[in-house]
Amino acid sequence: MARAREDAEASGGSGSGGSEKGLVVSVLHDISRAAVRMKDVSVLLGEVLDILSRRMSLSRGTVTLRNGDILTICASHGLSDEERKRGVYRMGEGVTGDVAARGVSRVVPDISASPDFLNRTMSRSPSAKTAFLCVPIFNRGNVIGTLSIDRINPSENVLKRDLKLLETIANIITDAVTVLFLEREETEKLNSENRELRKKIDLQLRPKNAIGNTAAMIKTYELIAKAGEGTAHVLIRGEVGAGKDFAMRAIANCARWRDKPLEILDCSTMRDSLIDAELFGSENPRRAGLLERADGGIVYLDSIGLIGKPLQIKLLKYLASGEFSRFGGSDVLKSSARIIASTSGDLEGRMRDGIIRPDFYYQMSIFTIFIPPLRQRRRDIPALAKFFLQKHARLREKKVTSISAGAMNMLCAYHWPSNVRELENCIERAVIIAAGQSVVESDLPPSLQTPQSTNTSKLKTEKNIDFSKMVAEFEREIIVEVLASNGGNASAAARQLSVSRRILNYKIKQLSIAPKTFKALKK
């Protein structure tokens, strides 16, 4: 009986089978809620270890991450910074390295009697019998790290229970650890790419006020610089709000074009006859068009993909020869004005549908600059957000100087369908309503507010039910909640949960969830 009480105290429960089961379910519930609530993976892993310590009375815990042949500690509980830095293992080295190399869990009942327990962190004291449990963390069949805990003076039954619990938790956090694993791989790849790119980039290559250091944007800067040096007609493509106007002005501000005329025409708001008269001029009444007024300079045609075939033919002739006639006239005129056009439409689809002439499409696409959408260059979001914050705080004479970590996480997680323009509008709104010197989560628009970000997630807490059923119910509610917050978009939900689309679809089918039923909830 004394031994049973001792084990119960060590586990945080009363010692009975029902209480132990309830404790395990409760621990998994806390960890599942943390997985839904926390977007920062490192914080989440630290919270998981804290829960194990707080609820299960574990003295020490670590999560290691694999980098090639090396395992390093990426999260810990009960270790100092110095001890954590010492926790480095090669694959196959010590208990941790052996678990990672073989992909098999291990229990060391007494570390003082284990010849392959290295105590690399130098954090254990020989004064008490200490057990060590270590389980592998997998991604697609490959070990990417380990999860381990220390238990002081446990019984055999407690060790068996702890091992099963630890393996379950490893499965729960595998996606979070995968995020860190992929981030580390991506970071190393990006660091290598950036070193090469820095050698290529001249400070003059980046347009004035340009913000963004991703490889995609640097390639865009290179094309803008080449366009600024040349005379060829240019087509700028990108989604709404991605920055097509900015790219045009960057070209127009290059030394070769800075002092030349610039005329702008928005084709999305005018009939073809009006575009014709504005661009080429009119004979009756006799009036010069943009091509004549901008001779030697630039004419910018926004939304070029919307013009009709007759106007396409007339513009095609100018692109090929520099010749044109005024609207309603027959005299042939010439201009050296350079055409820079932009579109956010699907030109290829419109060509297949017969709306756009193939010869016009190919002539216009000779020199094309693609502006990547903001969701494909998320690493630029913090810098852009801070730039817009400073801009609108200055314009509105408000002392708003920073963005909270929670608000920045929400900005980086959002999919930005209207790209940089939407981000600027969002920051402008936040600056207007901010009550303090920092933009916080509640200052952001409702479109960015989700149950996860506002910590209003509601998960069931029934007790005394089947363990497998309880875990399945947790998974179901988490997936339903994220699907609802993303309007039934399974791809967006998979990104938010940091799992592959295939895994999420498998879970959706397994749990009989219908994503289509959530589409109306986002509207």
What was the pLDDT predicted at 130? 87
Report d(CA 64, CA 173) in Å as an integer. 12
Which DSSP symbol is given to 337?
A: P
Neighbours of 135 (CB within 10 A): 24
pLDDT over 90 at 452, yes or no: no
Report d(CA 469, CA 511) in Å as an integer. 11
Report d(CA 410, CA 40) in Å as an integer. 11
> Diameter of the chain by CA atoms?
109
Instruction: List, as one string, the DSSP characters of 482-500.
Output: HHHHTTT-HHHHHHHHT--
- Residue that the structure tokens 């219908």 belong to: 514
For the record, the structure tokens of 433 come out as: 């309503």
Instruction: Name the amino acid, one letter, at 500.
Output: S
- How does strand 234-237 pair with strand 368-370? parallel
- Residue that the structure tokens 């988490």 belong to: 478
What are the start-end ranges of the H helices in 322-380? 347-352, 358-364
**215-371 domain in CATH 3.40.50.300?**
yes
For the record, the structure tokens of 344 come out as: 């956010």
Beta-ladder partners of 203: none
pLDDT over 50 at 462, yes or no: no
What was the pLDDT predicted at 482? 81
What was the pLDDT predicted at 202? 42
What was the pLDDT predicted at 523? 41
Report d(CA 31, CA 27) in Å as an integer. 6
Instruction: List, as one string, the DSSP characters of 216-262.
Output: HHHHHHHHHHHHHH--S-EEEE--TTSSHHHHHHHHHTSTTTTTS-E
Of 505, 481, 272, 235, which is closest to residue 370 (Cα–Cα)? Answer: 235
3-state secondary structure of 12: coil
pLDDT over 60 at 162, yes or no: yes
Contact 252, 258 (CB under 8 A): yes
Q: How confident is the model at residue 303 (pLDDT cuts 50, 70, 90)?
A: very high
What was the pLDDT predicted at 191? 65
What was the pLDDT predicted at 135? 93
pLDDT tens-digit readout, 68-83: 888 989 888 888 888 8
Contact 438, 404 (CB under 8 A): yes
Contact 291, 300 (CB under 8 A): no
> What whole-number percentage of the chain has pLDDT above 70?
85
What was the pLDDT predicted at 261? 93
Neighbours of 358 (CB within 10 A): 10
What was the pLDDT predicted at 325? 93
pLDDT over 50 at 300, yes or no: yes
For the record, the structure tokens of 262 come out as: 């610039």
Residue predicted with more confidence, 236 or 2: 236
Winning range, highest mean pLDDT, from 188-197, 217-226, 256-265, 481-490 = 256-265
Q: What are phi and psi of 344, to 5 degrees?
A: -110, 5
- Residue that the structure tokens 């993909």 belong to: 305
User: For the chain, where do the domains classified as CATH 1.10.8.60 start and end?
Assistant: 375-448
What was the pLDDT predicted at 465? 52
Characterise 279 by phi-psi region: left (phi > 0), alpha (psi -120 to 50), beta (else).
Answer: alpha
Find the mean pLDDT for residues 242-252.
Answer: 91
Q: Which of 33-42, 282-291, 383-392, 429-438 has the lowest mean pLDDT?
A: 33-42
pLDDT over 70 at 306, yes or no: yes
Find the mean pLDDT for residues 351-376.
Answer: 92
Q: What is the CA radius of gyration of the chain?
A: 31
3-state secondary structure of 329: coil
- Please name the fold of domain 467-522: Arc Repressor Mutant, subunit A (1.10.10)
- Residues with Cβ within 8 Å of 69's Cβ and at least 6 positions away in sequence, in order, are 90, 91
pLDDT over 50 at 459, yes or no: no
What was the pLDDT predicted at 343? 94
Beta-ladder partners of 425: none
User: For the chain, where do the domains classified as CATH 1.10.10 start and end?
Assistant: 467-522
pLDDT over 50 at 14, yes or no: no
- Which one is the CATH code of 375-448: 3.50.50.60, 3.20.20.70, 1.10.10.10, 1.10.8.60? 1.10.8.60
Measured torsion, CA atoms of residues 390, 395, 396, 402, in degrees rounded to the nearest 10: 0
- Residues with Cβ within 8 Å of 134's Cβ and at least 6 positions away in sequence, in order, are 95, 96, 99, 105, 106, 146, 147, 148
Report d(CA 436, CA 114) in Å as an integer. 57
Find the mean pLDDT for residues 50-64.
Answer: 85
Q: How many helices (H) and strands (E) does the chain have?
A: 19, 17
> What whole-number percentage of the chain has pLDDT above 90?
35
Mean pLDDT of the chain: 83
Report d(CA 29, CA 296) in Å as an integer. 69
Q: How far is CA 156 from CA 52, 110, 133, 151, 506, in A?
A: 19, 11, 12, 11, 36
Q: Which of 59-68, 123-132, 157-166 has the lowest mean pLDDT?
A: 123-132
User: For the chain, where do the domains classified as CATH 3.40.50.300 start and end?
Assistant: 215-371
Does this model's pTM top 0.75? My answer is: no
Find the mean pLDDT for residues 279-289.
Answer: 90
What was the pLDDT predicted at 8? 41
Which DSSP symbol is given to 16?
A: S
Q: How confident is the model at residue 7 (pLDDT cuts 50, 70, 90)?
A: very low
Q: Is 175 exposed, middle or buried (0-12, 13-18, 19+ CB in 10 A)?
A: middle
User: For the chain, where do the domains classified as CATH 3.30.450.40 start and end?
Assistant: 2-186
What was the pLDDT predicted at 201? 46
Report d(CA 216, CA 472) in Å as an integer. 41
Contact 463, 476 (CB under 8 A): no
Q: Which CATH class for the 2-186 domain? A: alpha beta
